[in-house]
Amino acid sequence: MKKILSVLSIAFLLVFGNMSNSFAAEFTDVSEDDRFALHIHYLLDEGVIQGFGDHKFGPEQAVTRAAAAIMLAKSLELDTSDTNVRFKDVPKSSKAAGAIQAMSAKGIISGFSDGNFYPNREVTRAEMAILLAKAFELTEQNYFSFTDVSNSMRSYDAIRKVVTSGIATGYTEDKYRPNQPLTRAQFSAFLARAMSEEFRLETKKPGDKKVTKMEAYTIASQLVAETRRNIFDLGHQYHWGADNPGKVDIAAPVLKEYFTNSIMQHDFKTFIESYYCDCDHDIAPKFEDRMIRFTVSNVTKDSFTVTGLYLTNFIETEPHFHSIIVKVEDGKWKIGEWTDRLVTTEVLNLTKKEVNKAIPDTRVVGEFYSEEAGSIVYEIKADGPFPAVGISKKNGEVYLKK
């Protein structure tokens, strides 16, 4: 037993002692206690990094686009002999010229519309996600609860991919900080995780545990936004309309990523043949910022129901509830069912804040008694030549002011 322990102790000293000596010899500004020391040491062993000539790595310095290109080109073992770079601000004599050209030829990096690459510009967390998602051909992407990342951002899909892969995570559960510049140490950690599974972070998979209200909101809103975007794109691409309904064989391969098998097998044909223009919003899943009230219910590990309350226009508000059941299927969140119904019997007790949010370009300017409603109602006014109307606090019904 003592002999076994002795052997293990020697092995430990050889591994960790050598690591300490290696850092001391190569990078005097990186110690084995640093948060990303193992990641930096891994990249050093792989020949991806070499630091500066004075035995310093500069871990707290911002990583530039040129430095990122060099590190990525080495990690992918690309041929960097061609220095004929197409960007105006990268001369052939630049240390990064070959790496930038190789990465550009692979379609991993690109320049800007003015023909420049801006090699000395700092790399942000959003740009890091784009670079690594392309370089390592990441495909799997789940939804997250970052309130500072929207699906209109160029980096949206890439951020989803690096988070799903365990390469990156947020600063908090709801903040990713996409515009924050990266240090050389931070970029090294992300690159090491991309290159080696042993450095990957533990990730939360759909169905691992019950979602929070914030998570339910972001999952549902992102899922529905992507679904609708793809439907719109298909409709525009194939000119679907009243005389040219949607085609199941065209839509199904795209939309099966967002709908459960039950919908695809039973209701999909009726839905896609009816939903042929952007104005058909009421028959599609709907979950938008204009909802004035949001609730989550029936939460389990692998499903939940979200409901949004909407007032749809200025003169006829017609309060609607849109309910969506989201389920885990094939390891992904998908839409399992959705309904849209007119509010008829519920007592809503609308607040002033909800009414102000409900209808664009209107505002609550006061209150008045409506004989027709038999109660005090909110008085709202729209910009332009529109009459003032009242909205019932009780149920959202509209009454003209007399």
CB 155 within 8 A of CB 129: yes
* pLDDT at residue 8, rounded to an integer: 37
Mean pLDDT in residue range 166-172 = 92
pTM for this one? 0.75
Which structure tokens are listed for 69? 């290109």
Q: Give tens-digit pLDDT for 194-217.
A: 999 999 999 888 999 899 998 898
The answer on pLDDT for 173 being more than 70 is yes
* pLDDT at residue 4, rounded to an integer: 41
**Residue 42: is it exposed, middle or buried by C-beta count within 10 angstroms (0-12/13-18/19+)?**
buried
* pLDDT at residue 196, rounded to an integer: 96
Cα gap 397→402, rounded to integer Å: 16
Q: Give tens-digit pLDDT for 244-274.
A: 888 999 999 999 999 999 999 999 998 888 8
Which structure tokens are listed for 29? 């500004």
Domains and CATH numbers, the chain: 213-342 (3.10.450), 352-400 (no CATH)
Q: Give tens-digit pLDDT for 13-56.
A: 344 444 444 554 578 889 888 899 999 999 999 999 987 878 88
pLDDT-based confidence at residue 287 (cuts at 50, 70, 90) = confident
Which structure tokens are listed for 76? 């992918």
> Could you give phi then psi for residue 16, rounded to 5 degrees?
-80, -30
pLDDT-based confidence at residue 314 (cuts at 50, 70, 90) = low
Query: CA–CA distance from 281 to each of 270, 312, 362, 381 (Å)?
Result: 15, 11, 22, 26
> Could you give phi then psi for residue 361, rounded to 5 degrees?
60, 30
Residues contacting 228, CB < 8 A, separation 6+? 284, 285
* pLDDT at residue 13, rounded to an integer: 38
The answer on pLDDT for 301 being more than 60 is yes
SS3 state at 186: helix
pLDDT-based confidence at residue 112 (cuts at 50, 70, 90) = very high
* pLDDT at residue 235, rounded to an integer: 87
Average pLDDT, the chain: 87
Mean pLDDT in residue range 113-133 = 96
Mean pLDDT in residue range 276-284 = 62
Cα gap 82→99, rounded to integer Å: 8
CB 206 within 8 A of CB 336: no
Q: Give tens-digit pLDDT for 64-100.
A: 999 999 999 999 999 999 999 999 999 999 999 999 9
* pLDDT at residue 11, rounded to an integer: 40
* pLDDT at residue 290, rounded to an integer: 76
* pLDDT at residue 317, rounded to an integer: 65
CB 60 within 8 A of CB 181: no
pLDDT-based confidence at residue 193 (cuts at 50, 70, 90) = very high
Report the 10 Å Cβ neighbour count for 287.
26
The answer on pLDDT for 283 being more than 80 is no
